[in-house]
Structure 1
Amino acid sequence: MGYNYYDTPDGQDCFKKLWFTTKIAGVTGLAISAVDVKIHSHTQGFYPTAARFVHFTFPFIGIAAAFTATTCMLTNLRHKDDKLNYFLGGCAAGSVFGAWRKSVVAGVVASAFFGVAAFVKKSSLEEGWELAPEPKLRTFGSVFSSRHDYTLTKPPPKLWKTQEE
């Protein structure tokens, strides 16, 4: 279908990975910006609305780019594909968050949070377990659902008699 971040090993196809992550971050930033403009800030006019979209979308793209570029660069510089690269990539993403919020405390907290989250993600990839497994899709109410009996109990016995008996 399309490219996925984990289609190639870390340290390879850095620009494809950068495009993949920034594309997702850009769409997420646009969605959050739309919610902010409509529900929270209630901006009036083109320029204030565009400024709110820029205020959210560009930092999201920067956070994703910082993580991706840092992990790819560290993998190539250290010649190791390990959890430290992901942790430091998360710290770089957190520092971009702190710069966006103009707060050192927010940057340190976000660096710790993103670093630990990236460390856990890399652990899950290396050890083969899923952090949040996808739920099994169960469909009810389809065209063919009348052919299946989804009741929990059996129906009571039919004790009535017809007139012909």
Structure 2
Amino acid sequence: MSLLTYKYYDTPEGEDIFKKTFVTSKYAILASIPPAIFDVLLYSHPKGFFNTALRFGTYLGPAVGMATAFTLTANISQNIRRKNDEINYCLGGAAAGAVFATLRKQPIIAVPAAIFLAVAGLVKKTSVDSGVPIFPYIQMGKESINSVRRDFTISKDVEELKTWTKGQ
């Protein structure tokens, strides 16, 4: 299976750790590009390619580090403990929170970030185990707000305009 088509839950927890790390890093990069673009275009205005790349790195680096810390901690703890439960994801979230505080050079937020991300990992693992998505797919209608104006079911059919016949 290709790394680009691999999904995180294609294999059980604790297996294919490199592939799972690649997937979470890919999602972290995709999630951190919009705030990096926002910062570069609207806030910091770096001059030149190198400075722009450094500004992108201040967003992409911590995100990839947090994703890697979460994935490695959750999967290695599953291999060590031999249990596939919520504690593995809590440990992964706590590790990601510690990495976040370290990379931001703000040790005061280490414990709150670790607790917050541990709870987020707990919620994610619970939703995966129960089969209930955190963000469910919302079925969109095929009609718009103006579709009511095009409803002609109350009017009678004009016999002269019918070009079909009934079956036998």
Instruction: Give TM-score scaled by structure 1 length.
Output: 0.82
- Aligned AA (1:73): I
1:92-131 to structure 2, matched below 5 A, reads 92-131=95-134
- Aligned AA (2:129): E
Unaligned residue ranges in structure 2 (runs of 5+): 157-168
Further displaced range: 104-113 or 59-68: 104-113
Please tell me whether residue 4 in structure 1 is matched to residue 7 in structure 2: yes
Q: Cα distance, 1:35 vs. partner?
A: 1.6
Q: Cα distance, 1:133 vs. partner?
A: 0.7
Structure 2 equivalent of residue 70 of structure 1: 73
* Cα root mean square deviation, aligned: 2.4
Q: Cα distance, 1:103 vs. partner?
A: 1.2
Distance in 2, matches of 1:14 and 1:126, equals: 19
Structure 2 equivalent of residue 59 of structure 1: 62
Structure 1 equivalent of residue 148 of structure 2: 151
SS of 1:151's equivalent in the other structure is helix
Further displaced range: 131-140 or 93-102: 131-140
1:7-34 deviations in Å (ceiling 9; x for gaps): 1111111111011111121233333212
- Aligned AA (2:120): A
Show structure 1 runs of 4+ deviating over 4 A. 152-158
1:4-43 to structure 2, matched below 5 A, reads 4-43=7-46
Instruction: Give TM-score scaled by structure 2 length.
Output: 0.80
Aligned residues between the structures: 151
Question: Which of 125, 128, 132 is residue 135 of structure 2 equivalent to?
Answer: 132
Q: Cα distance, 1:128 vs. partner?
A: 2.4
Further displaced range: 91-100 or 28-37: 28-37
- Aligned AA (1:99): T
- Aligned AA (1:16): K
1:97-119 deviations in Å (ceiling 9; x for gaps): 10111112222111111100110
1:33-78 deviations in Å (ceiling 9; x for gaps): 1221001111122222121111111111000000000001000011
Structure 2 equivalent of residue 89 of structure 1: 92
Is contact 1:94-1:108 (8 Å) kept?
Answer: yes
